[in-house]
Structure 1
Amino acid sequence: MLDAEELADVIEEEAEARGPEEMSLEVECGDGVDTDAGDDTAECIAYADEGVEHLWLVTVGPADAGLEVEIENAS
């Protein structure tokens, strides 16, 4: 179970690990996820350093080494 703030933190960390070093990104999620209760999706907004907002559909599931997060652009 991750609340909205914890989910946003996980997404930010993953994006920073994958993206270019100079990238800056802030993420806000409308709600969290609770995979035990079957709630494995959330909508989040990523605010990129160039001021552009990206609406993301986030799906979370268990993985061998922890948590697997999939992100789709919702346009």
Structure 2
Amino acid sequence: MPTFPNPELYELYQRDLGDIWEAARVAGVKPGTIRVWETRGKIERVRLDDDRPLYHLPTIKAAAQVKPGRPKAA
């Protein structure tokens, strides 16, 4: 299960979906970073009938706000 799961399919809107280039733009990263996040289980693709790799852009934006690294000791 990804760290940032997508909403259920019935909750998705077409306007909130984008390809890897749009996802990278929303996150402020390169498309390769989106692929790394997917490989590491941080995010997941939206699976539709045509099997085009699409991403839920609000989920990508939320994932981008979490900075990498270890938390500071308390």
Tell me the TM-score normalised to structure 1 length: 0.28
Comparing both structures, which one devotes a greater share of its residues to strand? 1
Larger relative contact order (CA 8 Å, sep ≥ 6): 2
TM-score w.r.t. the length of structure 2 is 0.28
Comparing both structures, which one devotes a greater share of its residues to helix? 2
